[in-house]
Amino acid sequence: MPEPENSQAILDVLIVGAGFGGVATAIKLRERGIENFRVFEKASGVGGTWWHNSYPGAACDIASHLYCYSFEPNPNWSRKYSPQAEIQQYIEHCVEKYGIRQHIQLDTAVDSLHFKDELQFWQACLSSGETVQARHVVFCNGALHLPSYPDIPGREGFKGPAMHSAEWDHSVDFGGKRVAVIGSAASAIQLIPELAKVAARVDVYQRTPNYIAPRKDRAFSEKEKARFARWPLWHKLYRWSIFARGQVLQFAIIRNSGTSRLRDILQRHIISHIRASVKDSKTREQMIPDYPMGCKRMLIADNYYDAINRDNVNLITEGIAAIHADSIQTEDGDTHRADILVYATGFDLENYLLATQITGRNNLELNKLWADQPSAYKGAYIPGFPNLHLMSGPNTGVGTSSVVYMIEAQLLLIMQALEAAGSEQLLEVSEAANQAYNNTIGEALKNTVWAGDCNSWYKREDGEIATLYPFDVSTYRRDHKRLQKQDFTISPRLRSAAE
Ligand SMILES: Cc1cc2nc3c(=O)[nH]c(=O)nc-3n(C[C@H](O)[C@H](O)[C@H](O)COP(=O)(O)OP(=O)(O)OC[C@H]3O[C@@H](n4cnc5c(N)ncnc54)[C@H](O)[C@@H]3O)c2cc1C
């Protein structure tokens, strides 16, 4: 059995991505004394989502004290929902504090991952032209890292600056310009109020209205921050209260595909909020959703309806027929002039795991295996792909709690799997365990509001939901706490005669 050419260079663990997921994985490896690992990040900085999404108004929408690592609480969050720069700074702080920096190689995409049957290692081809071998791969590429653009005729012909919210061009001056924002969901409702302050005009192209609840954001006083720092137990309790609210209120809304009294009450409450907030009667009606709350992602904002009420902001609900050099033509034949185009059109959730070409045992190609539907055991393990650990694999998404919480839960499983296999064994989930897990997920999804009659980015074109986890996040954590070794085969890696 031949060893790779430079066996010194074989990594114990190769990590893809330096967002919350990749950084947490690196921290946990170092905690276990594992130093032979590298993190490859395609961007020029760490931070993942928070490095990429620097549009004006970008901030988290899960309260900051829960949207951070449990092992690195931050008493100094400036606001209940901190802005992008502060979250980015927090991740940078973790990278420094936990000694991760020297393990990270920036500006380096992992283009492909190939399990070499003859060597029994993973081989990664990097955008730098290098190839790297590793015993394990932890794939932390993030579910929201591929910007999605709408398929509108003429898109390429627009003459002015055009940008996706996740690829903000900070050199563009919006002052006094006519701006077209395509999309009206999570990123759009954060950036529109900021653009409206400086632009001559903002046209908001809305396809579907959203349930937007008040955010109730506020700054923390110095006294409150000092209290969080001085009383860790108080700080923990505060974090827990945010968590509990997500469990009790938000999860209860999505849990049931049929009628739900709580959902009805909250839905009525938000619709009243929209009616009370939007001044123009036609616009108001256009902003009221006609599907059950929770079926699409629920949003929060304090300043969106105020922005919509401004004279220089115009809501357009006609579909877009074409994009021309300096305008947008809607399906009713109207032409709307635009100097700058902003795509707040979200992310490609169908292909985020397939952007990297991944080939397992016997040249099994992941994109072929997943042609019908992506699935994995506990969102992390795929039969035929030994020692490949997914951080945000299929059915790991939640709309009701912190993704950082989910990442930490997933890491409980991944760290045990890494330990169980060590450097000399291959760990592979069984077909039966994978099937059983996904049957449970599939059945449970039918009982959620997502299965209802609405289009959402959660759903594939065929209506299947390969993104979301149907139970609450405590269940996710409980389920990921212990590695069920009986669900895996753990076999010795074949060794070369030289070893
Ligand atoms: C605008 C916005 C706001 C959000 N707000 C919240 C919130 O309030 N609360 C919440 O819970 N979640 C929120 N999310 C979801 C957010 O993505 C997660 O919370 C979290 O940041 C995911 O961390 P991650 O490390 O898994 O992925 P990411 O942060 O996406 O990091 C993945 C990294 O992998 C890199 N990468 C991908 N492919 C490759 C490759 N082939 N080679 C090398 N590098 C690669 C990417 O460049 C990226 O830096 C938000 C997302 C967006 C876009």
Inter-axis angle of helices 403-421 and 473-481, nearest 10:
10
Q: Is 48 in the pocket of ligand 1 (CB under 6 A)?
A: yes
Q: Is 391 in the pocket of ligand 1 (CB under 6 A)?
A: yes
Nearest by Cα to 100 from 43, 19, 44: 19
**Residue to mutate, 49, 69, 94, 243, ligand 1, most ligand atoms under 8 Å from C-beta:** 49
Contact between 79 and 217 under an 8 Å Cβ cutoff? The reply is yes
Residue 294 confidence (pLDDT): 83
Q: Is the dihedral of CA 78, 80, 84, 88 positive or negative?
A: positive
Q: Is 53 in the pocket of ligand 1 (CB under 6 A)?
A: yes
Q: Is 179 in the pocket of ligand 1 (CB under 6 A)?
A: no
Residue 252 confidence (pLDDT): 72
DSSP state of 14: E
Instruction: Give the distance (Å) from ligand 1 centre to CA of residue 50.
Output: 7
- Amino acid sitting at position 151: D
**Residue to mutate, 51, 111, 132, 141, ligand 1, most ligand atoms under 8 Å from C-beta:** 141
Range 215-234 burial, b when 16+ CB lie within 10 A, else e: bebeebeeeebeebeeeeee
Instruction: Give the distance (Å) from ligand 1 centre to CA of residue 334.
Output: 37
Our measurement of the distance from residue 432's CA atom to the centroid of its chain's CA atoms, rounded to an integer in Å, reads 29
Structure tokens at 429: 């989930």
Cα separation of 217 and 301, whole Å? 8
Q: Is 61 in the pocket of ligand 1 (CB under 6 A)?
A: yes
Rounded to 10 degrees, the C-alpha dihedral 317/318/319/323 comes to -100
Q: Is 144 helix (H, G, I), strand (E, B) or coil?
A: coil
Nearest by Cα to 340 from 106, 138, 159, 130: 159
Q: Is 141 in the pocket of ligand 1 (CB under 6 A)?
A: yes
- Amino acid sitting at position 136: H
Q: Is 343 in the pocket of ligand 1 (CB under 6 A)?
A: no
Q: Is 185 in the pocket of ligand 1 (CB under 6 A)?
A: no
Structure tokens at 30: 């170092």
Cα separation of 297 and 314, whole Å? 23
Q: Which residue lies with its CA nearest to atom 9 of ligand 1?
A: 62
pLDDT per residue rounded down to tens, the chain (499 residues): 444 444 457 999 999 999 999 999 999 999 999 999 999 999 999 999 999 999 999 999 999 999 999 999 999 999 999 999 999 999 999 999 999 999 999 999 999 999 999 999 999 999 999 999 999 999 999 989 899 999 999 999 999 999 999 999 999 999 999 999 999 999 999 999 999 999 999 999 999 999 999 999 999 999 999 999 999 999 999 999 999 988 877 777 777 666 778 888 889 999 999 999 999 999 999 999 998 888 888 899 999 999 999 999 999 999 999 999 999 999 999 999 999 999 999 999 888 888 899 999 999 999 999 988 899 999 999 999 999 999 999 999 887 899 999 999 999 999 999 999 999 999 999 999 999 999 999 988 888 877 776 666 667 777 778 888 989 899 999 999 999 999 999 999 876 433 4
Looking from the CA of residue 58, the nearest atom of ligand 1 is 1
DSSP state of 9: G
Q: Is 84 in the pocket of ligand 1 (CB under 6 A)?
A: no
pTM recorded for the entire structure: 0.95
Contact between 431 and 446 under an 8 Å Cβ cutoff? The reply is no
Contact between 247 and 401 under an 8 Å Cβ cutoff? The reply is yes
Looking from the CA of residue 407, the nearest atom of ligand 1 is 26
